[in-house]
Amino acid sequence: MMDQCRIIDLPPRHDQRGNLSVVEGGIHIPFDIRRVYYLYDVPGGSARAGHGHIELQQLFIAMSGSFDVIVDDGYERKKFQLNRSYYGLYVPGMMWREVENFSSGAVCLVMASTLYDPKDYYHDYDEFVIAAHAHAPTGHKPR
């Protein structure tokens, strides 16, 4: 699963009036966009997310400033620093995610594959790990 988490290039179109980047669901990212939300005014030292999803896929973009996204598939953890608005981090379903280390003025834009559904969430990390191991392809070894 961890191999599916990846940075997606959203190439800017340069113009004397400014830059433009485009994200089209099903074209630039591997899902249709059903929901968009953003995090801002996050106090220094605070973390967001800290949960897992069953089906939800997401694309995280640092619209302003920087922050770290930590992803965990129940076997390994990986940290991505986002600090450019022309890169997005794709996170598939069955992945735990945490967002931390927000710089002053950071804005985190998130595009999601589904509407909000509380049944799609894991709020307890240990429960998530058990579920991730149950869904894992053969050959994965638990931590």
The residue count for the chain? 143
Distance separating alpha carbons of residues 78 and 84, to the nearest angstrom: 19
Instruction: Confirm whether 140 is a catalytic residue.
Output: no
Helix (H, G, I), strand (E, B) or coil at 132: helix
Rounded to the nearest 5°, which phi and psi values hold at 55? -105, -30
Contact 99, 49 (CB under 8 A): yes
Pick the catalytic residue: 51, 133, 135, 140?
Answer: 51
The burial of 114, by beta-carbon neighbours within 10 Å (0-12 exposed, 13-18 middle, 19 or more buried), is given as middle
Question: Count of CB atoms within 10 A of residue 6's CB?
Answer: 13
Contact 7, 88 (CB under 8 A): yes
Question: Residues with catalytic annotation?
Answer: 51
